[in-house]
Structure 1
Amino acid sequence: MVLCLGATAAVAQTTGEIFGRAADTSGAVLPGTTITVAGPALIQPRVVVTSETGTYRVPELPIGSYTVTFELTGFRTVVFQDIRVTIGFRAQVNAELQLSQVQETVTVTGESPIIDTRETGTKTSFDIETLQNIPSARDPWVMLERTPNIAMDRVNVGGTQSGQQSNYVSRGAAGGNNKWSVDGVDITDMSATGASPMYYDFDMLEEMQVTTGGADVSQQTGGVGINFVTRSGTDKFRGSGRFYLTDDKFQADNVDDDLKRQRAGSGAPIQNIKDYGFEVGGPIKAGRAWFWGSYGKQDIKAGIVGFYSQDARCQQIKAALAADPFAPFSTDEQRGCLGTDGTLLNNYNAKVTVVPFANNRINFQNTWGAKSKNARDASDTRPIETTFRQGAAPSRFGKYGWITGPTPFWKASDQHVFSDRWIMDVQWAHVGNNFVLDFHEDSLENVQPTYNISTRIWGRSYLRSGPFLRPTNSIDVTTNYFWPAAILGDHSFKVGYRWRSANSHSELHYGGNTIAANRGSSCATAAGNCEAWLFRDSVTNYHLNTNALYAQDTIQSGRLTINVGVRWDNQSEEALPSTVPASPLAPATLPQVTFAGADSGVSWNDISPRLGVNWDFQNDGRTVAHASYATYFGQMGPGQLSGILNPVGTIETDYPWLDANNDNVVQANEIDFSRLLFFSGNWDPARPSFVGTVNTVDPNIKNDRTREFIVGLDRQLTGDLAVGASYIWRKYDRFSWDDRLNFTSADYVARTFTPTSAQCPVAGARCDTVTYYEPTIPIPGVRVRTNVPDRYRTYGGAEFTLRKRMSNRWMANASLALNDAVDHWDSGNAYEDPTCISTQCVPGQQYAPESGGSGIDNIFTSAKWLVKGMGQYMLPWHFNVAANYQIRQGYPFPQSIVTPTRANRAGTATTLIEPMGEVRQDNFQIFDLRLDRAFQFGNMRLVPSLDVFNVSNGNTVLARRRNQNASNANVVSGIVAPRVIRFGVRVQW
């Protein structure tokens, strides 16, 4: 693994470069020296000639190991072996040639650079050795967890959380600005900005790079940039296969008596995980064409705290444990009653690379990623009947393999080397992202869900979300040109253009179009304070179009390197026509709507400057200082602006409900339509039957912005050991919101609420008196989407890294990150409901977004410090031992009080007792170990392995139910999975 602290961090790349200079023993430069770069990743060697200043550059090299040969008549030939090029890494290789009367060759080994002297950003590259040899759950999101200064929203012990995307935070950045790239193509899900559109076979990856700051002009946003490079064929036929097994028979029990008292039950154990597949590649015609393909399958079955099977015996055990957490049931009996959170991932890959003529390379590739899940979002508050069945959209919604079916990724690219100074790449790609989150059973479509407002426990049914159809098409054109010995020094130019088009179709239907909401008591009397939440279906269609143009110049003169770049982004989107049916219970207030479509009238044109400066103190690449400044802008999603104009999105209206016949089902004659308690969506309570658009978009609304400054130092202590330090400052602003017209924070009045003992039944719950705010006039329905005034976020932090490349039988990487991400609300204009400012919007509190919609909730991601380390040691007799260790600050635990339903359509409010981050769960740490031993049988290599995850059997609580005036207050809803052993075997040939 390579960690670079400190040219700007290159993103969405599949390649690196080798550059440097040739000189004689006196230091005089040697123009005309022939440089030949050869390696298994190249079909044909690359040859360049040094300039009049003795400099050279070989860009766009596929990742891998290279031999660099320097040749000049009258001098000894110098050969550098094993020069390692990773994603975006610029390896500086300088040669000193000696005069010679005879043909001689000097071979140099062990001199591969460890510091990128042109890097001003912060990035981490995980090469194939790290991906395969360090103990992990074999999941790209786990590698994000290993990256310096990235805080995850979950802990994946041996695969317990695999098969579902993790959320993560780095440097206070919002997740919506994260970027995902495969083989140089940005494939980010534009309808769930910041997310990946698919899942991956871990063995398809040759390398993974994560950029956390200082991104160059090829990245639009300031979020985390994740870039994968997949494997390719070579002139040598090769392949591998693997099988890994993790089973509950080989795991410990980490639930002690204290956790049992907190209703942790039997914890969150693994039930069974199988991971198997193969990959193979080789020549179609040596030196002309290669192929590569793979298949991978992950079958993941895990238990979740409090999520029980519907079996009668298991429901008896659940009830008994709720009454007495020490009820006499064995751990095996309790675990056997946990419902299965099952995920199945199937991944197919194919790639062909062809050299049709000299200096040209064409690539075709296809990936299909299929995911199915039996109980998405299962938890102690979401029993099995309220979970989702996840799968691909059926073919009736579009062409299979293009719009529907397993998510496809199609790519074609062409690279041409015009000369030893000029190279160009053209890429086209299509991603057919699609899925459905369906009712757990088809019969639940017309069944109304129940919901306890205090405990947040669902029952009976839930909703169908989807199908989601999110196809995108893109074209990328980039060119690199090297101009040596020009004004100010050598210039390396990069210019690029990107076009991307994205469509987004989505549907949503709540069971029975209604939620029967209660507060834990009978709804047959007015004292129950029950509510009927009515929904009209949602069917939306949006289109997004983006264009980007960027240019960058890397200027090198002696010890100084300057990177100057600028990027232009144009983004626009519109809502397309659609129709939704009326609400069956309230057709008068929620009628059928036919929408003709709408354009927000806003097109964002953003200019992003980038500047980086490096100083090589000794001109030997061993001590390098760096500084950079960048402005980034957000990525627009379909419907981001026009969504407020769309009347066919989800509409919710809440009314008092008295269950007259005591059947716990909402009927129209049981609803008090005269009292609107709450509403949401593009709906005007003053004109409830109006089917047009009542909202607007501010024509002057601006894109969200990130400004960043980084300063740091890298020092290579020995040939294989380097340390680094960086300070990072950021400011995030120009956030958007939906501002209600003629309605401000001044239209609220303070109230206090003290829950009664009956409302606070749990011993030890904090039922303090809280202040909340209630509107004095009815909340209006007309809104305008605009920027939030006086609202921003700042970040200041430091990062320290150590990296030791594999040599002398060992390697290691470690990092320490110190963070302070602070939210600011500088005036009453920055919020509407003052309940927010009483606790949630306290100026100066820590930024801690809550996870949701990705298989987990009730987690607030924030850590003011994180320590991470990993390493490997090669023991005698071909044994290898590797380890991973992490320790970080615990998650925030924002204890809260749910208020009564407020007047004037305001609904309930959740009021924090202390500001975010004041109270936290315990600090978390984990230690994993791996042991393997390779056996060689001719050309075949067999590697059995044993991984032990959570060696200490830690049981850190990750989440508790936070509402204090509820019967499940402070109940444990998430803990670290117990120690477990994984057995594996890998075959390579």
Structure 2
Amino acid sequence: MRRSVSLASLVALVWLALPAPAAAQSAIAGAAKDTSGAVLPGVTVEASSPVLIEKSRAVVTDAQGQYKIVDLRPGTYVVTFTLPGFATVKREDVELTADFTAAVNVEMKVGAVEETVTVSGASPVVDVQTTQRRDVLTRDVLDVLPTGRNYQTLASTLPGVHMGRFDVAGSTAMQQGSVMTNGSLGGDMALLVDGMNIQSSLSSGSTPAVYHNDDAYQEYVFQVSGGTAESQSGGVVINMIPKEGGNTVKGDGVALYTNGKFQSRNVSADQRTHGVTVPPELDRTRDYAGSLGFPIRKDRVWWFSSVRVWGYDNFAPNAVYPDGSRAVDDNLIQAYTNRATVQITPKNKFTAMYDKLPKYRGHRNIENGLTDPKATVVQRTPLAYDTQAKWTSTPTSRVLLEAGYSEQYYNYTLHYQPDVKTPARNLPYGDISMLELVNPANRLRNAAQMDFQDWFPSYNLAGSASYITGSHAIKTGVQYQWGWIKHWRDSNGDMVQRYRNGAPDSVIRWNFPIPEAESDLDRSVGIYAQDSWTIKRLTLNPGLRYEILQGSVPAQSAPAGRFVPARSFAAIPNLPNWKNWAPRIGAAYDLLGNGKTAIKFAVGRYMQQEATGFADKYNPLVQGSDIVTWSDLNQDDIAEDNELGAANNATLGVRRNINPDPGLERPYQILYNLGVQHELFPGVSVSANSYRREYHHMVFTTNLDVPLHVYTRIDIPDPRGNGATVPVYNLDRTYQGRVNQLDTTSPNNKRTYNGYDVLVNGRGHGGATLSGGINIGHTVSILCDVEDPNALRFCDQTR
């Protein structure tokens, strides 16, 4: 059983003067009544704000006196209610954050339309119509938080949300990590810009690949539960809301710099006994950014540009250059962001963005303290960018149409250091990668394990149509993604030499060269319908999603290498070919009818997120290896063919050693959340929530050529000296080297998470923000369908 407790809080007080905020699916909704409490149909409700390029948006209340204005940008609004025979009511200073539905209800009295009643008060902080649990970090908060100014370090400030690596103020943010919550996996994360997918096609599709320009975004929205049918992922969904410019010229800039003089050392004597001779330490960090937003034509064309250059350089632990100076993990990331917003007609809007995002890392892998500088790789990105275009139309006050295209392209190399001798497949091999297994453990020297290049684009089309009345809103849409990944691999001698206390021990044999191994995401389709129906105090949010996931591997070939023959492989279709339904249902109840207390419940099925990773796993040409023994017979410290032992993977490079079961089901999760949110006093709310996550159709791997009965059980004394024995299973030697693995759906393996949190959120005058809470949860796994019986020990965490 694994238990986790996280506690996060922040208090911020800042003044903000930045370019105008940008798009997000926010709304203002409520009801209009007369002084007797009777509903008022036909009231014109107008929301106006300088953040809207069209200045205002208007709807009319329905027969139940209800209204909803959707597709609003984050910002401060004035909401005006007019009806002949009644005095006009104006509600000022309604602050709207991203992906939030603000409840604004009014009571109108009989009078002349020219008579205006102005109402002021704190902005709503309880969303009584949606079931999502989400956290919003606005620009004023982003600017004062001591983080690495990226989505993963920002996420670590939120209760119940954590990143996949340890970080202090961006110290490890030069390499990306995942963001997880409430028992989710790293592969469940989804990243959006302006509500559109902007992730790569790498592996599960959860990796953003590029490093985004924090200064180009107005708000970050972290959705952690209660996702609608529009969302594919059951993990953390991060929506970055871009800046767009405005009707006035506005700009801002950031300049941050520090070095190791402000850092102390805290290496203990115990750490030194474990081999920490040179601790990690900051060399320098710098972050320079400038942004400018301005109108090309007022109320018609806005432009926004931002440039950011940043890097966090650490002195690497236990690493020095040949001249004796300390080795540095040196980094440089750049971002060049441009966005145009065009109001084509009063009812049609178009936005476009291009974001070029190069990266350089001079000594990747040196940060672990186990790699000599010469054995690191130089990371470069010949081409890396995000681009996006989006059209929005409101042909009537009840219809919203949206269509968009987004693309991410990422091409990166991990090449040998310049002082590594030229690669060769025959003697002499050049500088060979050397790995010490024991003293010091896992220390890599002389050369990196391989020379490497990957490139992978991701293309996305999305369209939707919404019909909105005051009490009812339905949205239907389609999302279509495709892409591919290509791999290039080579290595000096096609091997890594391994040592045990300095003596030759074994060799990792690679199936190189790989000139180009391609795996395709043919299509990932999501077709959805999401309803929202308000019946008095109750809002129901049923949704249904249909998903198609199809991948393949094209016909491929590669020349012979040192350990593999020339290879040709036929195309492999349907890797996978899944079609699944994913229903969702949620309900929110306005307990007191005043928009200040909401009870929320949601349950939904979320299919496992996937991109090129499934096809890549079964691609026969992708990177593969085998470990064999090595006896250095001529003592020349070069592993020659006659010095290597028998193969443990007899079919390396010859065929696919792992295949999917034809009946393999797509894994999925069932998510439940139940909570209550209450406004304690104006601007401040408290909420309590419970969560449950169940994993179904989990995949397990079995080796068809090595059944479990060929293992022999041996009981050995428990090394803890308690008099008990521990079962150990030995493989029959005649089965060594046989690999024919099959991935299949386990009928028994499962994982369940249960968690709880209590949260406090508040907004005050002058930009003060309060956010904090506590989250407690535990995961229990039963993983007793195994390939190797040695994995049966502790496989059932319920015992």
Structure 2 length-normalised TM: 0.91
Give the equivalent residue in structure 2 for 1:894: none
1:453 paired to 2:437: yes
Q: 1:609-648 counterparts in 2 under 5 A? A: 609-641=583-615, 643-644=617-618, 646-648=619-621
Give the equivalent residue in structure 2 for 1:64: 75
**3-state SS of paired residue (1:660):** coil
Give the equivalent residue in structure 1 for 2:670: 707
Q: Aligned partners of 1:806 and 1:745: how far apart in 2?
A: 64
1:43 paired to 2:16: no
Give the C-alpha shift of residue 492 in structure 1: 0.8
1:435 paired to 2:412: yes
Give the equivalent residue in structure 2 for 1:384: 373
Letter in 1 for 2:397: D
Q: Aligned partners of 2:742 and 2:557: how far apart in 1?
A: 23
Deviations 1:515-536 (A, max 9, x none): 111221423xxxxx44453443
**3-state SS of paired residue (1:249):** helix
Letter in 1 for 2:622: G
Q: 1:398-477 counterparts in 2 under 5 A? A: 405=383, 407-441=384-418, 443-444=420-421, 445=423, 446-454=430-438, 455-464=441-450, 466-477=452-463
Give the C-alpha shift of residue 191 in structure 1: 1.5
Q: Note closer, same or farther for the CA distance 1:572–1:2 as it changes in structure 2 (3 Å cut).
A: farther
The answer on whether the counterparts of 1:534 and 1:653 sit within 8 Å (CA) in structure 2 is yes
**3-state SS of paired residue (1:635):** coil
Give the equivalent residue in structure 1 for 2:3: none
Give the C-alpha shift of residue 357 in structure 1: 1.3
Q: 1:843-882 counterparts in 2 under 5 A? A: 843-844=797-798
1:572 paired to 2:529: no
Letter in 1 for 2:79: V
Q: Greater shift after overlay, 514-523 or 459-468?
A: 459-468
**Aligned with 1:112 (options 84, 106, 123):** 123
Give the equivalent residue in structure 2 for 1:658: 631
**3-state SS of paired residue (2:387):** strand
Give the equivalent residue in structure 1 for 2:18: none
Give the equivalent residue in structure 2 for 1:668: 641
Give the equivalent residue in structure 2 for 1:209: 221
Letter in 2 for 1:290: W
Q: Aligned partners of 2:616 and 2:271: how far apart in 1?
A: 48
**3-state SS of paired residue (1:113):** coil
Letter in 2 for 1:482: I
Letter in 2 for 1:96: E
Deviations 1:24-83 (A, max 9, x none): 222112222111111122111111121222111111112222111112233222222221
Q: 1:165-176 counterparts in 2 under 5 A? A: 165-176=176-187
**3-state SS of paired residue (1:512):** helix
Give the equivalent residue in structure 2 for 1:358: 346
Give the equivalent residue in structure 2 for 1:838: 793
Q: Greater shift after overlay, 830-839 or 499-508?
A: 830-839
Give the equivalent residue in structure 2 for 1:536: 512
The answer on whether the counterparts of 1:552 and 1:564 sit within 8 Å (CA) in structure 2 is yes
Give the C-alpha shift of residue 92 in structure 1: 1.1
Q: Aligned partners of 1:350 and 1:71: how far apart in 2?
A: 40
**Aligned with 1:819 (options 777, 791, 795):** 777
Q: Aligned partners of 1:358 and 1:281: how far apart in 2?
A: 22
**Aligned with 1:599 (options 559, 573, 576):** 573
Give the equivalent residue in structure 2 for 1:187: 198
Give the equivalent residue in structure 1 for 2:154: 143
Give the equivalent residue in structure 1 for 2:697: 734
Q: Aligned partners of 2:68 and 2:267: how far apart in 1?
A: 58
Give the C-alpha shift of residue 261 in structure 1: 4.2
**Aligned with 1:778 (options 735, 753, 764):** 735
Q: Note closer, same or farther for the CA distance 1:117–1:688 as it changes in structure 2 (3 Å cut).
A: closer
Q: Note closer, same or farther for the CA distance 1:249–1:719 as it changes in structure 2 (3 Å cut).
A: same
Letter in 1 for 2:764: M
**Aligned with 1:272 (options 279, 284, 297):** 284
Give the C-alpha shift of residue 693 in structure 1: 5.0
Q: Which runs of 4+ in 1 moved over 6 A?
A: 752-756
**Aligned with 1:243 (options 242, 255, 264):** 255
Give the equivalent residue in structure 1 for 2:682: 719
**3-state SS of paired residue (2:560):** coil
Q: 1:539-554 counterparts in 2 under 5 A? A: 539-544=516-521, 545-554=523-532
Give the C-alpha shift of residue 107 in structure 1: 2.3
Letter in 1 for 2:230: S
Q: What is the number of residues matched between the two proteins? A: 764
Give the equivalent residue in structure 2 for 1:557: 535
Q: Note closer, same or farther for the CA distance 1:241–1:696 as it changes in structure 2 (3 Å cut).
A: closer
Give the equivalent residue in structure 2 for 1:334: none
Q: Aligned partners of 1:732 and 1:814: how far apart in 2?
A: 29
Give the C-alpha shift of residue 177 in structure 1: 1.9
Give the C-alpha shift of residue 303 in structure 1: 2.4
Q: Note closer, same or farther for the CA distance 1:278–1:650 as it changes in structure 2 (3 Å cut).
A: same
Deviations 1:850-900 (A, max 9, x none): xxxxxxxxxxxxxxxxxxxxxxxxxxxxxxxxxxxxxxxxxxxxxxxxxxx
Give the equivalent residue in structure 1 for 2:490: 509
Deviations 1:111-157 (A, max 9, x none): 31101112323211111111112332222211111122123343322
Q: Note closer, same or farther for the CA distance 1:609–1:532 as it changes in structure 2 (3 Å cut).
A: closer
Letter in 1 for 2:642: N
Letter in 2 for 1:707: I
The answer on whether the counterparts of 2:411 and 2:456 sit within 8 Å (CA) in structure 1 is yes
Q: Note closer, same or farther for the CA distance 1:480–1:102 as it changes in structure 2 (3 Å cut).
A: closer
Give the C-alpha shift of residue 630 in structure 1: 0.5
Give the C-alpha shift of residue 824 in structure 1: 0.8
Q: Aligned partners of 2:361 and 2:60: how far apart in 1?
A: 56
Q: Note closer, same or farther for the CA distance 1:463–1:257 as it changes in structure 2 (3 Å cut).
A: closer
**Aligned with 2:300 (options 288, 294, 306):** 288
Letter in 1 for 2:731: P
**3-state SS of paired residue (2:345):** coil
Q: Aligned partners of 2:273 and 2:739: how far apart in 1?
A: 46
The answer on whether the counterparts of 1:211 and 1:226 sit within 8 Å (CA) in structure 2 is yes
Q: Note closer, same or farther for the CA distance 1:182–1:808 as it changes in structure 2 (3 Å cut).
A: closer
**3-state SS of paired residue (2:143):** helix
Give the equivalent residue in structure 2 for 1:371: 359
Give the C-alpha shift of residue 299 in structure 1: 2.6
Q: Note closer, same or farther for the CA distance 1:260–1:740 as it changes in structure 2 (3 Å cut).
A: closer
The answer on whether the counterparts of 2:705 and 2:739 sit within 8 Å (CA) in structure 1 is no
Q: Note closer, same or farther for the CA distance 1:256–1:206 as it changes in structure 2 (3 Å cut).
A: same
Give the equivalent residue in structure 2 for 1:806: 764
Letter in 1 for 2:89: V
Greater strand fraction, Structure 1 or Structure 2: 2
The answer on whether the counterparts of 1:171 and 1:821 sit within 8 Å (CA) in structure 2 is no
Give the C-alpha shift of residue 19 in structure 1: 1.0
Give the C-alpha shift of residue 625 in structure 1: 0.8
Q: Aligned partners of 1:688 and 1:114: how far apart in 2?
A: 60
Q: Aligned partners of 2:637 and 2:161: how far apart in 1?
A: 46
Give the C-alpha shift of residue 656 in structure 1: 2.0
Give the C-alpha shift of residue 247 in structure 1: 1.4
Q: Note closer, same or farther for the CA distance 1:500–1:601 as it changes in structure 2 (3 Å cut).
A: closer
Give the equivalent residue in structure 2 for 1:253: 265
**3-state SS of paired residue (2:296):** strand
Give the C-alpha shift of residue 618 in structure 1: 0.5
**3-state SS of paired residue (1:746):** helix
Q: Which runs of 5+ in 1 are unaligned?
A: 4-11, 315-336, 394-404, 485-489, 524-528, 680-684, 757-763, 846-989
Q: Aligned partners of 2:790 and 2:161: how far apart in 1?
A: 31
Deviations 1:464-487 (A, max 9, x none): 454211112111001211145xxx
